Amino acid sequence: MHGIDYLLNALTPFSLLIALGGVGLGIVIGALPGLTATMAVAVLVPFTFGMPPAQALIALGAIYTGAIYGGAYAAILLNTPGTPSSIATTFDGYPMTKKGDGDLALTLACLASVVGGLVGALCLIAFAPPLASFALRFGPIEYFWLALFGLTLIASLNEGPLLKAMIGGCLGLLLSMVGVAEVGGDLRFTGGSQTLLGGIDLVAALIGLYCIPVIIELVASNEEHVEGNGKVRGYRLTEALLQIWKSKFNILRSSAIGTVVGVLPGAGGSIASLVSYSEARRASKTPEQFGKGAPDGLIASESANNATVGGGLVPTLVLGIPGTPPDAVILGALLVQGIRVGPQLFTQQSEIVFTFMYGLILATLMVLPIGLLFGRYAYRLLISVPKALLAPTVIFLTVVGSYSINNNTDDVIHMAALGGVAWVLARFGFTASPIVLGLILGNIAEGGFVQGYIIGAAKGSVFNEFFSSYISIGIVALIAVAMVIPFVKFVKNPRG
Amino acid sequence: MINKKINKNDLIACLFFLLLGIWVVYQTEEFTFLGSVFPKVVAYVMIACSILYVLISYFFGWDKVSSLRGSTVKRFLIYLVIVAWAISINYLGFLISSLVFYFLSLLISGGDDLTVKKAFLYMVYGGFFIAVMYFIFVNVLSVPLPNSKLF
């Protein structure tokens, strides 16, 4: 069989229908704060057991794609990442909504998601085996350096003095260490509370840190929640397409970053979107606009997180190692279907795997009409809802969303507490983004460091172990480059 | 021009993070070596940044204190509602706590133009929304929302 045959297989009415339904359901679940793409795939996976294998995979891929894109709705309209992958979308998406450009932001997010998703899916088709072998070269030390590289983004996400951002980053790192240590089993910073034994859930923390301060200010303020007299200006598709064309290098770079980060097991959409956002800001001629409603920031985040869908499936299908958490659920579904993952999958069961890949492309394309349609009505709904009704509804969503992560009321309390902390810190000039970055990367950095240390100690040289691979040296070089510009800026203007 | 007026907010914040860093270092004494390395390093960086920030502000000028706009009472009340909502969900159950605190937050965020008629109408919308979400979470997404322990 050839590519065209697989494409025709994926183009059957049944495949198209399940791709359409999967994308729609994924968008709805992903749009609800607290309900992640992993949950969307996990909840809907039993419905695929009765389907033929290729169609079951298409359905799961479509749900996953839809959910990742759906996370942008809450991020853009409510300043709450619907899924962790949409963290960076809040930085410019919500300011655009505040300025009355929420409709444009949603259309841009849709277009960027489609482009990013297509790049990821095409890379999956073209480069799956070589990309998977690259991912295998990443050990704990490489992850440690990668996490440190991620922490250099603090300088890019910083909206005030660099030192304040660094303090915020440290706070996030310390929050990530709360609970039982992964290596050694130490009980750290729980204050004797049993509810903190398992640590602080990332999604609950995200909801609290980003959403609660916005609600508090929304209620306290006498101004309307959206500027521009609440006008809806349609899809603004031409404007969005022109913007996408202007940002073509940004979108391609971000999609490539998203694909590569997706390939790395455990990294995921949140890191991909943050790295892409940072690189977009670094490359921009107007970096000062980032964080104030710059379309480039939104485009970078959304194209990168959707590119992780295809990227994450590379190690899942080739090696049987899930690239992202939803891939772990998809891997389970593959086993239920009797599909044996590994390099032989591409030769012995090529019909299934390639039909799925082409199906993923079709599902990504379906995000365009469904996303545009949903986006238009979601924005219209937001601006037509009175503030008196909006605030209680958003609080309700934060409560139910943070509860449903682990079906645990402790997560709701953590969310509320962190929300209060974030509001107080914002009053003192500390923004949420560096805290979140520390919270995300803390476990990866510490886990990698400790494991690398143990391996190095066993070999007799810890230092050599940390610089033993070309990948490690390459990432260390990137860290050095990433730190040069903020350092020079800091020396020139210590108050900046 | 350099702002020599001390920003008390910044000073308090840096003092807080300095003390937090010291507390973390103190706590790490009880941990194993591998469990203490990372938090200790992070705490030292936090302490260093806090001291450096105060020194730089002292020599190069402080940030101006930004003023709050809007109602502080409303801020306090809405946060109180959020916390009470989070705590009560375990005792009152999901449905009752949601209806009670939805209504309270509606009253707080309503402002002066919230008439009795509007409040009633919004509560009907809110009640319908909560019921729909309850149905979706329990029956479609299989999320077991908590029931009341008191009734």
Q: Dig out the tokens for A310 from the structure.
A: 């295809």
Nearest CB to B49; choose among A163, A413, A454: A163
Per-residue pLDDT at A225 exceeds 70: no
pLDDT at B75: 93
Residues 6+ away with beta carbon under 8 Å from A395: A215, B78, B81, B82, B85, B101, B102, B105
Sign of the four-CA dihedral A492, A496, B2, B7:
negative
pLDDT at B149: 74
CA distances A28 to A23, A37, A72, A158, Å, are 9, 11, 11, 32
DSSP state of A51: S
The pTM of this model reads 0.82
Burial annotation B7-35 (CB, 10 A radius, 16+ → b, else e): beebbebbeebbebbeebbebbeebeebb
pLDDT at A444: 84
Under an 8 A CB cutoff, do A420 and B83 touch?
yes
Residue-level length of chain A = 496
pLDDT in tens, A391-418: 898 899 889 888 888 888 999 999 999 9
pLDDT at B1: 54
Output the average pLDDT for chain A.
84
CB-CB contact of A19 with A62 (8 Å): yes
CB-CB neighbors (< 8 A) of B140 in chain A: 43
DSSP state of A138: -
pLDDT at A440: 82
pLDDT by 10s per residue, chain B, length 151:
566 677 788 889 999 999 999 999 999 998 998 889 899 999 999 999 999 999 988 888 777 767 777 888 999 999 999 999 999 998 999 999 999 999 999 999 887 777 888 888 889 999 999 999 899 888 877 888 888 877 6
Which residue from A minimizes the CA distance to B122? Answer: A389
Sign of the four-CA dihedral A220, A106, A41, A65:
negative
CB-CB contact of A97 with A77 (8 Å): yes
The band of A45, judged by pLDDT with boundaries at 50, 70 and 90, is confident
Cα separation, A469 vs A444, whole angstroms: 18
Of the candidates A300, A308, A345, A255, which has an alpha carbon nearest to the alpha carbon of residue A53?
A345
Q: Dig out the tokens for B24 from the structure.
A: 């973390």
Q: Dig out the tokens for A290 from the structure.
A: 């980032």
Q: CA geometry: angle at A366 spanning A360 and A372, to 5°?
A: 145
Nearest CB to A419; choose among B63, B82, B146: B82
pLDDT at A30: 82
Q: CA geometry: angle at A255 spanning A253 and A258, to 5°?
A: 110
DSSP state of A488: H
Cα separation, B114 vs A388, whole angstroms: 8
Of the candidates A69, A70, A73, A51, which has an alpha carbon nearest to the alpha carbon of residue A60?
A51
Query: What count of CB pairs under 8 Å joins A to B?
Result: 209
pLDDT at A232: 66
CB-CB contact of A149 with A456 (8 Å): no
Distance (Å) from the alpha carbon of A192 to chain B's nearest alpha carbon: 13
Confirm or reject contact between B68 and chain A (CB < 8 A). yes
Out of A154-158, A234-238, A367-371, A428-432, pick the least confident: A154-158
pLDDT at B3: 67
CB-CB contact of A293 with A99 (8 Å): yes
pLDDT at A230: 56
Residues 6+ away with beta carbon under 8 Å from A61: A22, A309, A313, A330, A356, A359, A360, A363
Nearest CB to A412; choose among B38, B89, B129: B89
Q: Residue A54 is inside which H or E element, if any?
A: helix A53-78
CB-CB contact of A65 with A360 (8 Å): yes
Answer with the residue of higher pLDDT: A323 or A472.
A472
Cα separation, A26 vs A73, whole angstroms: 12
pLDDT at A13: 86
CB-CB neighbors (< 8 A) of A391 in chain B: 78, 105-106, 108-109
CB-CB contact of A383 with A232 (8 Å): yes
pLDDT at A228: 56
- How does strand A179-180 pair with strand A187-188? antiparallel
pLDDT in tens, A340-366: 777 677 777 777 888 888 888 888 999
CA distances A374 to A73, A75, A106, A188, A461, Å, are 9, 15, 9, 44, 56
SS3 A186: coil
- The pLDDT of A161-170, averaged and rounded, is 89
Q: Which residues pair with A187 in a beta bridge?
A: A180
Under an 8 A CB cutoff, do A400 and B145 touch?
yes
CB-CB neighbors (< 8 A) of A166 in chain B: 45, 49
Confirm or reject contact between B100 and chain A (CB < 8 A). no
Cα separation, B37 vs B41, whole angstroms: 6
The band of A81, judged by pLDDT with boundaries at 50, 70 and 90, is confident
Under an 8 A CB cutoff, do A400 and B74 touch?
no
Mutate to test the interface with A, among B37, B46, B77, B80 (most CBs of A within 10 A): B46
Confirm or reject contact between B93 and chain A (CB < 8 A). no
Cα separation, B88 vs B94, whole angstroms: 9
The band of A434, judged by pLDDT with boundaries at 50, 70 and 90, is confident
Confirm or reject contact between B51 and chain A (CB < 8 A). no
Side chain identity, residue A28: V
Nearest CB to B130; choose among A396, A409, A427: A396
Q: CA geometry: angle at B79 spanning B77 and B85, to 5°?
A: 100
CB-CB neighbors (< 8 A) of A386 in chain B: 122
Distance (Å) from the alpha carbon of B34 to chain A's nearest alpha carbon: 6
Q: What percent of chain A has pLDDT over 90?
A: 20
The band of A303, judged by pLDDT with boundaries at 50, 70 and 90, is very high
CB-CB neighbors (< 8 A) of A454 in chain B: 34
- The pLDDT of A240-252, averaged and rounded, is 92
Would you tell me which residues 138-167 of chain A have a C-beta closer than 8 angstroms to some C-beta of chain B? 160-161, 163-164, 166-167
3-state secondary structure labels for all residues of A389-437: HHHHHHHHHHHHHHHHHHCCHHHHHHHHHHHHHHHHHHHCCCCHHHHHH
Side chain identity, residue A490: F
Side chain identity, residue A170: C
Which residue from A minimizes the CA distance to B104? Answer: A392
Q: Which residues pair with A179 in a beta bridge?
A: A188
Cβ-count burial of A80 within 10 angstroms (0-12 exposed, 13-18 middle, 19+ buried)? buried
